[in-house]
Structure 1
Amino acid sequence: MSRFNQKDNLLGQANNFLEVLEQVSQIAPLSKPVLIIGERGTGKELIAARLHYLSKRWDQSYLKLNCAALNENLLETELFGYDSGAFTGASKRHEGRFERADNGTLFLDEIANTSGLIQEKLLRVVEYGEFERVGGSRTINTNVRLIAATNEDLPTLADAGEFRADLLDRLAFDVITLPPLRERIEDIMMLAESFAINMARELEFELFSGFTEKAKRAMLEYHWPGNVRELKNVVERSVYRCNNPHLPVHDLVIDPFESPYRPSQRIKTQDRISVSVPSIDKENNEEKRQEIIQQQLPVSKSLVFPLSLKDLSQDYEIDLIQSALESCQYNQKKTADALKLTYHQLRGYLKKYNLLESAVDEG
């Protein structure tokens, strides 16, 4: 159990937080899936680790994966593995997380960012405990306790068709919802002092002299949108900038970007991608590249009116989607990311403009 003690930094005495810990203790011994929901920085990963190390699987593998960090293809191979020859460069078999976590626990963070394909395969694993490697045909059985986390409202996403309702039903055997730090006022100073003492040790101070009343009031009155993670950063930053173990921390550095010299202008994302979304072969497609660039420029004053705004807008959207698809080798997940759409929003556009047949989904 030493690994658990070293990793567990869950501190608090607020009733709503203690209720969460009690819920964790109740569900931990079971092998059922658990869904953890909470704002960023509330400690979802710490709760997942606590679930594992309080379970009967505590001495088995505990693997973690952030689903938002990988595109669909990489996420699929990382979760389910692949067989030799599954694709170019796959010279040998690769075991995925579900295979390596057999008899242990797998924690999937940012579960809301998975595509329909990944959700379908996850459903099969949760329901039947089986899957196939990418490029393989042999069914592999696994005994994995799945813990998933998100900071999004999954029931609303499911109602909108952006997350599989049947997968949500399987994942939500029990749901642990973490309270934000602003609802744990009595825990703020306890956490702050713990973070400050650890930072003082790291700086090799002989002691930590505490916080002034001004600093305490600032911490208790602040909204903490980044929750415990933000509090930790603020406290550690303030201790090191104080740089005197014999003086209490007086000034909290909440916003490290605050400066009279901070740039005030923002370069619009649209300006950056206006000519970069389509990636065209420069040698053979210069004419087409220039055509696409012109299509993305503001509407020319030389247009002859009256004209159909609806038809013009539709043609523009079709051309932009087709260019983005070509640029992304017709991978729909990459195309959605390039156009700053969700996967399901892109699918809606493809259906609307009858582009599904030409848009091969390589996910």
Structure 2
Amino acid sequence: MRQILFSALIALGVSITLTPLLIKVFAAKRIGQEIRVDGPQSHQAKRGTPTMGGIAILVGIWAGYLGSHLLGLRYDVEGPSASGLLVLGLATALGIVGFLDDSIKLRNRRNLGLSATGKYIGQFGAAVLFGILALRFPSSTGLTPGGRYLSYVRDYTVVTFGIVVFLLLVCFLVVAWSNAVNITDGLDGLAAGSMAFALGAYIIITFWQYTNACATTPEIGCYNVRDPLDLAVVCAAGVGACTGFLWWNAAPAKIFMGDTGSLALGGLLAGLSITTRTELLMAVVGALFFAEILSVLLQIVVFRTTGNRLFKMAPFHHHFELSNWAETTVIIRFWLLAGISAAVGLMLFYGEYLAAVG
């Protein structure tokens, strides 16, 4: 438990102190966000706000994770695990894709960075490498970070995926979650605050998996997850880093996370869903992100089939802005939705445990 606390506090401290330094550097070099011309007109005032703040989030997460392990040496805590490093590696790889995207936008002074093809190549490449490595590094009990099954709260072992199907599933999850968080990052503090709720729920989920792990407590309802405690440390680092960044990103934002941060955080959700064997549960815990990307898909389908728009603008947080909701009202209410979905996910997780042991 100490290690989880250390991770969150270190990540918080690094993120909250590094972010203002990035603001000063980027402002001095005039590295500012370009705004969509077809977006809400109130957003045009945000043009020039420093971006790529996701650098602070990634550095904070790594600092929290590695720092907690260094401090944990005093308490005979095991070092970094294969699962923890793989999830952070996936997040970092996607953060690099986002950094390239942000850099092109800033260099060309426009709101378009990497082409869709270029971005997908980066996302698929990171996903395939993660998927291949997730099936390696077996523990002493034979558990690997990922499993070739579809999972809700634990593996459905009725059907075993072949390696190709498993990699396709990993690609789908990585692309879906990274783009979902990226799309949600359209209002000041919306993505960072919502991520804190989702990752906070996963601290509880992974710690519960650790205390009821089949490797140490082989009882009814136990969990076959490799390195659940270390994944809790990763989640805590994510909460701390997002909270520290949110201090400066809350409305009116002094800096944006950019694709550097949003793609990395989406990769974090995808990696956690796979390594904790909760791919389906993540859709409930991260329901706000799921709803945001679904609103975009629905907008496209409805417009192409009927010629009418389902929302005034997608993703649907802009729909409420164009319906004369104040930006801060949209943000706070969406935070509430993110908190509710995280709570519902926790209830479903615990309910499944009670059903298993009952």
For normalisation by structure 2, the TM-score amounts to: 0.23
> By percentage of residues, which structure has more strand?
1
> By percentage of residues, which structure has more helix?
2
Q: Which has the higher contact order (CA 8 A, sep 6+)?
A: 2
For normalisation by structure 1, the TM-score amounts to: 0.22
Of structures 1 and 2, the larger Rg is shown by 1
